[in-house]
Amino acid sequence: MVSMDEDGARRLAQDRDDAELMFQGVARQAELVRAGKTTSRALVEAALRRIARTDPVLGAFRVVLAEQALAEADARDAAEPTGPLHGVPIAVKDELDVAGQVTTFGGAANRTPVAADCEAVRRLRAAGAVVIGKTTMPEFGQWPFTESAAHGHTRNPWDTTRTPGGSSGGSAAAVAAGLVGAALGGDGGGSIRIPAACCGLFGLKPQRGRVSTAPNPHLWYALGTVGPLTRSVGDAALLYDVLAGTTPTDRWSARPAATGWVEALETPPGRLRIGYSAKSAVPGVRPHPEHVGAVLESVRALRELGHDVREVDPRYPDATAPFAAQFCGGVRAEADAVDRPDLLERRTRRTLALARLVPESAVERGIRAGERLAERADRMFTTMDLLLTPVVPERPRPVGALDGAGLLTALARSRPMVAYTALWNVTGHPAASVPAGLAEDGLPLAVQLVGRRDDEVTVLRVAAQLEEVRPWAQRRPRPPSA
């Protein structure tokens, strides 16, 4: 007969083993599977145990596909490894189609399962990944807080009284807590970078048109991009090698990269001109002193790495009008496709009332205005190779930022959170949230690296240098068990 002490010790050992596997990251997990040191089923079972213990508190998953994922893992184990993600469990934000599942967009108004994977998920599976579940988001990704009437609050693994950010907050919480090694998100105004910053992850918003949005021609028109949240730059590069590319149905397509993304990391970036500024693109928004400190600490590190780093005064163009037009058009397009519009959140219905006043012609004018702003932003990069800024001005808010908030209050609370990020969605430039240690409150700090159009490679290379001198992936939160 097994004593309670023995049973507890066994569970503790299992917890440690599971954590060790899941915090490895996707590149290492795939390597372990290829080497026969673990199996896809073992990885999926470890992920499922960690989800069962932790997610009732975090609320990172909208649905966990346990049986399907185990069956998929068994199929991977029965086959020869072919793709770079063979056997690795990955989560997917709930605005992306997964065959047989409802794409809820964070709400309750959609009820019909989709027939096929979206292109990004198809590419993950083709590379050998196992889809383990769909992650939470605010309704239609409107807010930088992952909270909804349908699915409740998602919490930050570093401090469960705080938000993980949004709108890809479920994906960020799942990766930060070691429930999966990586998760797909989407970024229409900062929705990859903001939760990456709040949760201590690497999150790159790629160049517009880098990753397919098919079957949809766009994600919030020119604003939205699809991409992963990971614990390391190398994992992000691996995933972008898998995800990069578009289809004939995509409205935008980026210039093809000259080399593979993982391969690109093997070449140092050389001495670069890097401008830095704590100035916000939104007038009146000032950064928290610790966020300014994170920028200055990164400046010191970059100078020690040999870069020419100088303070600049960016003349940010005003992106309010083109962003607002595309935001309204994007929410309207997604809301028009749901099964039960009567089940949309009250706040979303207010957004739609406003959006219906914005004709399609105004959305198209907003896209053209964004292209003109992109040309203006390009001028910044004639004298520098990268721009370094904060990601967000505020520390992560307490959970419940949207509780009882109408549209105007939600907009007011969201406005500061996108002050450094949304401009780059309007212009399409690549931009990444790079971890920069922990603040006094015990939550992560981050900085943003912005690159020239189509130049994600330089962003990745410099982020990898920063990762090497301050290896943030070794830091792990201790999320509570249910």
Residues with catalytic roles: 93, 167, 191
What whole-number distance in Å separates Cα of residue 90 and Cα of residue 129?
A: 7
Structure tokens, 480: 């509570």
Pair 86, 29: CB distance under 8 Å: no
Structure tokens, 237: 């590069």
Residue type, position 351, single letter: T
Q: Which residues of 34-60 are buried (b: 16+ CB within 10 A; e: fewer)?
A: eeeebbbbbbbbbbbbbbebbbeebbb
Residue type, position 373, single letter: L
What whole-number distance in Å separates Cα of residue 176 and Cα of residue 192?
A: 13
* Residue 342 DSSP symbol: G
- Radius of gyration, CA atoms only, the chain: 21
What whole-number distance in Å separates Cα of residue 59 and Cα of residue 180?
A: 14
What whole-number distance in Å separates Cα of residue 68 and Cα of residue 72?
A: 6
* Cis-peptide, bond into residue 167, ω within 30° of zero: yes
What whole-number distance in Å separates Cα of residue 302 and Cα of residue 306?
A: 7
Residue ranges of E strands in 359-480? 386-390, 431-438, 444-451
Distances (CA, A) of 284 to 132, 279, 389: 42, 10, 16
What whole-number distance in Å separates Cα of residue 130 and Cα of residue 121?
A: 10
What's phi and psi for 420, nearest 5 deg? -105, -10
Residue 126 contacts by C-beta under 8 Å, 6 or more apart in sequence? Answer: 83, 242
> In angstroms, how far is CA 346 from the centroid of its own chain?
26
* Residue 397 DSSP symbol: P
What whole-number distance in Å separates Cα of residue 304 and Cα of residue 218?
A: 41
Q: Is residue 476 helix, strand or coil? A: coil
Structure tokens, 424: 């780059």
Helix, strand, coil tally for the chain in percent (to 5):
40, 15, 45
What whole-number distance in Å separates Cα of residue 354 and Cα of residue 332?
A: 9
